[in-house]
Structure 1
Amino acid sequence: MLSTVDLAYPFVGRWLTQNSPANRVPSHGTDLFATAFAIDFVPVNEAGRTAPITFGSLLRPEPAERFPGFGRPILAPVHGVVVGVHDTAPDHQAFRGLPSVGYALTQRRRAAEGWVALAGNHVMIQTRDGWVIAVCHLQHRSVQAQLGRSVVVGEPLGHCGNSGNSTEPHVHLQAIDRLDVLHASAVPITFSGRLPRNGEVIDAV
């Protein structure tokens, strides 16, 4: 039986669960880069919705700033040591409707560029048990965590962004068994002992 690492939610406020391994494994449709058990959280407003879909959003990309939660603080989900930091990837526009089709066609190119091109700005935290937790798609130049420093649950890491392989501002979490993502194995994650399902709205405090 696979070991499981239990995490705290890396945010406060209202978030929507997407691409959860509670619904399918691999959760992102691939085992590439140890993402089999990865989970995505999308920041939403008090009504549980992301940015309203308009006629324009179906036809052209949208500014990331239009989405609720862009720039929202992201917190450490676990105690550990920061073993990886990337902070220089730009935040790009969001893609829904027809623009998302064109964006999907570029995913193979980004995958060929490696995990950092997919993860965008990120922080990686190694736990005392050796697991490595990756917190991805952070806002450009927002990362506060310092390489080699210890962090505790709830400590600020950065802000929610739209960097890397992301169609709208969100946070991607995954746990792996070593720092070398290319050769790592995915580790199942839970939150307070449970795993939220796709479409579930999380109110974190």
Structure 2
Amino acid sequence: MSVHRSAVLLHRALWLVFITQAILSPFVDLPYDYWLGWLPGLAAIALGFRLRAIEERRVRAGAPAPVETEPPVTGRWSAQNSPADRVPSHGTHSRGQTYAIDIVAESDERPRPPFSPLWPIARRNGAFPAFGAELRAVADATVVHACDHRRDHLSRTSWPGLIYMLIVEGVVRGVAGRGQIFGNHLVLDLGDGTYAAYAHVQRGSLQVREGDRVYAGQAVARCGNSGNSSEPHVHFQLMDGPDLDRARGIPFTWRGIGVPKNGETFTADPAVPETSA
């Protein structure tokens, strides 16, 4: 048995011991001091962090070469949940999100509202500079999926709003599936087994339909706040298939930018779309 497999089994055993004694302690007089009962749980947490770090290194080591594309936006933006900081970037490999990134628009004239601990609980989307920003095709591609009928909800940029999103909405959206998680979304076939997905698209903003041929830099939709989103932002990812429920993530790098780290601000220059002859 490998060392890694042994560590995984030990991690499970520590949690089992901790949970078992927690259940039995009200009914059984355990033969050791109360505080010692926390040791298996603390050890399990520490080992869990270690195993997660090992898994992230394994994913990075086995990752395919990044695919270079144009950025999906223009102007000044900053990164959140970036694969430059951790993999999987969103805490999961499901739905092709291993190397996904979230970006929010930055504006000196209309700054993003700060996170509010209690009030206002929610803000209208127009308060955020990302809302309505153009989304661009990252390469010459074919549209394989496009939907924009779901509503854009209010922000969740307060503790009450965030808790509601994670606990109440999160459960419902997780059961309802990809449409409720990604909201309005667009999938482009870039060729060579690579697909680009844009999530949280603004309702009614699609400028393309399934089967359309698009060109790098072409406006295809607008940024919205649909689906599992705390504020208007762009969720972008590359993957190896068009089905979000089955696809695996592919690393990306944006031409002239690379992969921005969490909190890093970057400026994307517009690509000049080509046109067919």
What's the CA shift for 1:77? 1.2
Q: In structure 2, how many angstroms separate the alpha carbons of the residues matched to 1:116 and 1:152?
A: 26
Q: In structure 2, how many angstroms separate the alpha carbons of the residues matched to 1:52 and 1:28?
A: 22
Which range is displaced more, 18-27 or 187-196? 187-196
Q: How many residues align?
A: 204
- Quick check: 2:110–2:129 contact (8 Å CA) kept in 1? no
- Quick check: 1:22–1:195 contact (8 Å CA) kept in 2? yes
What's the CA shift for 1:83? 0.3
- Structure holding more helix per residue: 2
Q: In structure 1, how many angstroms separate the alpha carbons of the residues matched to 2:126 and 2:134?
A: 14
What's the CA shift for 1:195? 1.2
- Quick check: 1:124–1:133 contact (8 Å CA) kept in 2? yes
Q: Residue 259 of structure 2 aligns with which residue? A: 195
Secondary structure at the aligned position of 1:107 is classed as helix
Which range is displaced more, 81-90 or 70-79? 70-79
Equivalent position to 2:152, from 91, 94, 99: 91
Matched, 1:175 2:230: no
User: Which amino acid counterpart does residue 125 of structure 2 have in structure 1?
Assistant: A
What's the CA shift for 1:53? 4.7
Equivalent position to 1:63, from 120, 124, 127: 124
Q: Residue 125 of structure 1 aligns with which residue? A: 188
Q: In structure 1, how many angstroms separate the alpha carbons of the residues matched to 2:117 and 2:255?
A: 40
Q: Residue 134 of structure 1 aligns with which residue? A: 197
Q: In structure 2, how many angstroms separate the alpha carbons of the residues matched to 1:204 and 1:129?
A: 25
Residue correspondence of structure 1 range 1-205 to structure 2 within 5 A: 1=62, 2-46=64-108, 49-53=111-115, 58-98=119-159, 99-105=161-167, 106-192=169-255, 194-205=258-269
Question: TM-score with structure 1 length normalisation?
Answer: 0.93
Which range is displaced more, 66-75 or 81-90? 66-75
- Quick check: 1:15–1:48 contact (8 Å CA) kept in 2? no
What's the CA shift for 1:59? 4.3
Q: In structure 1, how many angstroms separate the alpha carbons of the residues matched to 2:117 and 2:164?
A: 17
Q: Residue 9 of structure 2 aligns with which residue? A: none
Q: Rg bigger for which structure?
A: 2
What's the CA shift for 1:30? 1.2
Secondary structure at the aligned position of 1:17 is classed as strand
- Structure holding more strand per residue: 1
Secondary structure at the aligned position of 2:143 is classed as strand
Gaps of 5+ in 2: 1-61, 270-277
- Quick check: 1:4–1:189 contact (8 Å CA) kept in 2? yes
User: Which amino acid counterpart does residue 190 of structure 1 have in structure 2?
Assistant: T
Secondary structure at the aligned position of 2:86 is classed as coil
- Quick check: 1:16–1:48 contact (8 Å CA) kept in 2? no
RMSD: 1.8
State the percentage of identical aligned residues. 35
Gaps of 5+ in 1: none
- Quick check: 1:82–1:146 contact (8 Å CA) kept in 2? yes
Secondary structure at the aligned position of 1:183 is classed as coil
Distance change >3 Å, CA 83–CA 180, structure 1 → 2: same
Q: In structure 1, how many angstroms separate the alpha carbons of the residues matched to 2:222 and 2:79?
A: 18
Question: TM-score with structure 2 length normalisation?
Answer: 0.70
- Quick check: 1:14–1:46 contact (8 Å CA) kept in 2? no
Q: Please list every run of at least 4 consecutive aligned residues from structure 1 whose deviation after the TM superposition is greater than 3 angstroms.
A: 52-56
What's the CA shift for 1:55? 7.1
Deviations 1:47-86 (A, max 9, x none): 7942245676x44111111111211111111211000001
